[in-house]
Amino acid sequence: MMKLIEGGVTAAQGFKASGVHCGIRRNTSKNDLSLIVSSVPCAAAAVYTANLVKGAPLTVTKKHIADGRAQAVICNSGNANTCNADGIEIAEGMAALVSEKLTIPADDVVVASTGVIGQPLSLLPIRGGMDELVEKLSENGSHEAALGIMTTDTVAKEVAVEFECGGKTCRIGGIAKGSGMIHPNMATMLVFITSDVAIAPDLLQKALSSDIQNTFNMISIDGDTSTNDMVTLLCNGMAGNTEITAEGEDFATFMTALNTVTVALCRMIAGDGEGATKLIECRVSGAKTSEIAKTVAKSVICSSLLKAAMFGADANWGRVLCAIGYSGAAVDVDRIDVSFKSDKGEIAVCKNGAGIAFSEEIAKEILLEKEIEIMVALNDGDCGSTAWGCDLTYDYVKINGDYRT
């Protein structure tokens, strides 16, 4: 049984977290440095952005967890540490500061940064904030850590679940940041997930790499894939279950728990897109293959015209068909059905690729809700997929017009 619980990234046994303002960001009321620590070494896995321009922290993290092990995560916001000549040195320096304060190997530290690209990052404020950061480590520190990784996010993103695995009570939870510069093809945000499940590193990587194909790779806010973003997963084994070393019932249970956390974080990220007022979920059914379903769902939620229509609560279903048509997916356009759905109800707007009579008033009422589902039936097979996005508003341009200043 899967049960949602409080605690976020510190819900699992043995994990503590904290967040402080150290001086990287100008706004002293906002945390800009976060730390997550396990009391024992963990199996570790990660996935990284597909952008060829990658932040120095990703290079360092990839090297540090090459052995499938880690014990801590340090992350700053306000500066991406990307395209800096001394970026690797700074990222390694952040790991060294954690090592110095916690007496764990620097090579067991995951390093992450988010914020403005191309701005020099000094270790001085980070070094100055380390004592407070370590002092504040707490089993209740998830929220402060979540605040410390935010950039243009308007809300902290945390979730955790409890479940049974191998006869033991286990937990998995996480925090995320992501509001803009988000587009399919891993990683497109920062996500830190922790669990007390005992699992072999190779299977942990397999679980994460598999899961993101249907979760984080199915989000788009603005069509821009970030340079810095990644998802990391640490499991310390403190739940006491027999280590998962092969696929089977326990591995499937862990995958379900992981997916429950990642889907929840996906919805939070998409719903908090820069300037967004609505979460858009596109559900595709009846596809010939899973790949076709994914391609269609992604294309719909990436359409700027469709996103603008959702902002205006305009049931312009032609934009859905248009996005499917240029997606490159092999579909029979004469079989496609489309409907819009929210807490106010569902209304069919297209049947067999053509418009049908519907009430514009009822459609508008449905589309004025905060969460909108676009239901696309391809009627050509048994496969499906879901993608998440948001509406496109005036505020998106305002936010990104003066992002640096």
Three-state DSSP at 390 gives strand
- CB within 8 A of 394, min separation 6: which ones? 275
Contact assessment for residue 17 and residue 174, using Cβ atoms and an 8 Å cutoff: no
What is the C-alpha end-to-end distance of the chain, expressed in Å?
Answer: 48
| C-alpha–C-alpha distance, residues 87 and 57, integer Å | 8
CA distance 231 to 233: 7
Q: How far is CA 107 from CA 67, 103, 121, 180, 193, in A?
A: 10, 12, 21, 30, 19
Q: What are phi and psi of 388, to 5 degrees?
A: -125, 140
Alpha-carbon span 318 to 45, nearest angstrom: 42
Catalytic residues: 188
Asked whether 230 and 75 are in contact (CB, 8 A), the reply is: no
Query: What strands lie across the sheet with 279-287, from one edge to the other?
Result: 354-355, 345-351, 337-342, 371-377, 279-287, 383-390
Query: How far is Cα 69 from Cα 240, in angstroms, rounded to an integer?
Result: 18
With 0-12 / 13-18 / 19 or more C-beta atoms within 10 angstroms meaning exposed / middle / buried, residue 44 is: buried
Helix, strand or coil, per DSSP, at residue 178: coil
Tokens of 122: 């000094």
